[in-house]
């Protein structure tokens, strides 16, 4: 019986949005208004595909993109949290579920030396084509009306837990740590023994408060807010008895 830590990436592990941070690789660090205004609700992934095509059109090399992405700041205390997890892999599993992309997340975790803490990353597949342009694809297809068309985090988590159970791995407690609106859906599959940890002042916390007020859908998990990684680490240490 292990403990599972589920982490969002943008504004959770890192203290910014990796998809907007990449714009810093452009000479004037900005996008044309026509491109910025093309983003539609629930279609962020498709928008990022257009952004990366524009960056490729400006002859920005993959190496230049990577050097910029590796400068994104980590949220205060998050590196220490990931180091603790990496030192306790016999009792703690850790996965990332994010609407970013495989390349950005891999680069950033590798540069910080904390990739060993993460067992699996579930995000949008990305690759560089023969021109050096980065292409971003949908993570999966789903029928959830609450989530972006390319990713339902609840479906990802449910499939992961089912596959782990088939391997004989059960979790006595899960911690779900996030900040955004797309982090609400997976909280509904958490149990009473689990903990959902919304970042203080961000969208997920506000949605959970509204959920409590409306009492439309029942949330079983305990809610603990956080501002720094040290607060998550405190809860995790108490859970595993360290």
From the list 176, 186, 190, the residue with the least C-alpha distance to 221 is 190
Q: Which residues contact 73 (CB under 8 A, 6 or more apart)?
A: 14, 15, 16
DSSP secondary structure letter of residue 23: G
- The rounded distance, in Å, linking the Cα atoms of 98 and 10 is 8
Return the beta strands (E) in 30-183 as ranges. 92-101, 120-124, 126-128, 134-136, 171-178
Global pTM exceeds 0.95? no
- Report helix, strand and coil shares of the chain as percent, to nearest 5: 45, 20, 40
- Give the pLDDT score at 215: 54
From the list 27, 119, 13, the residue with the least C-alpha distance to 72 is 13
Chain position carrying tokens 């452009």: 26
Tens digits of residue pLDDT in 68-105: 999 999 999 999 999 999 999 999 999 999 999 999 99
Tens digits of residue pLDDT in 2-48: 999 999 999 999 999 999 999 999 999 999 999 999 988 768 888 98
Is the pLDDT at 239 greater than 60? The verdict is yes
- Give the pLDDT score at 214: 62
Structure tokens at 101: 């992309």
Lowest-confidence pick of 43-52, 53-62, 93-102, 158-167: 43-52
Domains and CATH numbers, the chain: 2-14+74-124+139-240 (3.40.50.1000)
Q: 3-class SS at 74?
A: strand
Q: 3-class SS at 134?
A: strand
- The rounded distance, in Å, linking the Cα atoms of 60 and 93 is 37
- Residue 8 a catalytic site member: yes
Choose, from 8, 99, 179, 194, the residue flagged as catalytic. 8
- Residue 19 a catalytic site member: no
Buried (b) or exposed (e) across 182-218, using 16+ Cβ within 10 A?
bbbbbbebbeeebbbbbbeebbbbebbeebeeeeeee
Tens digits of residue pLDDT in 196-223: 999 999 999 999 998 876 655 678 999 9
Question: Mean pLDDT across the chain, nearest whole number?
Answer: 93
Choose, from 10, 19, 179, 183, the residue flagged as catalytic. 10
């Amino acid at each position: 019986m292990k403990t599972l830590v589920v982490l969002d990436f943008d504004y959770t592990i890192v203290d910014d949005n990796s998809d907007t941070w990449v714009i810093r690789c452009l000479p004037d660090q900005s996008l044309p208004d026509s491109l910025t205004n093309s983003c539609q609700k629930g279609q962020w992934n498709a928008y990022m595909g257009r952004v990366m095509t524009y960056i490729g059109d400006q002859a920005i090399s993959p190496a230049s993109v990577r050097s910029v992405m590796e400068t994104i700041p980590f949220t205060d205390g998050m590196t220490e949290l990931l180091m603790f997890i990496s030192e306790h892999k016999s009792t703690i599993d850790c996965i990332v579920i994010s609407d970013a992309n495989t390349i950005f997340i891999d680069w950033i975790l590798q540069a910080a030396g904390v990739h060993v803490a993460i067992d699996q990353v579930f995000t949008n597949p990305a690759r560089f084509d023969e021109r050096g342009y980065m292409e971003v694809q949908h993570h999966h297809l789903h029928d959830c009306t609450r989530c972006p068309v390319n990713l339902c985090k609840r479906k990802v988590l449910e499939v992961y837990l089912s596959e782990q159970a088939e391997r004989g791995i059960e979790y006595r407690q899960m911690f779900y740590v996030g900040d955004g609106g797309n982090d609400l859906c997976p909280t509904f599959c958490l149990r009473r023994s689990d903990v959902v940890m919304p970042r203080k002042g961000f969208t997920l916390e506000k949605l959970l408060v509204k959920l409590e007020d409306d009492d439309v859908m029942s949330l079983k998990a305990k809610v603990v807010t956080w501002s720094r990684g040290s607060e998550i680490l405190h809860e995790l240490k108490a859970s595993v008895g360290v």
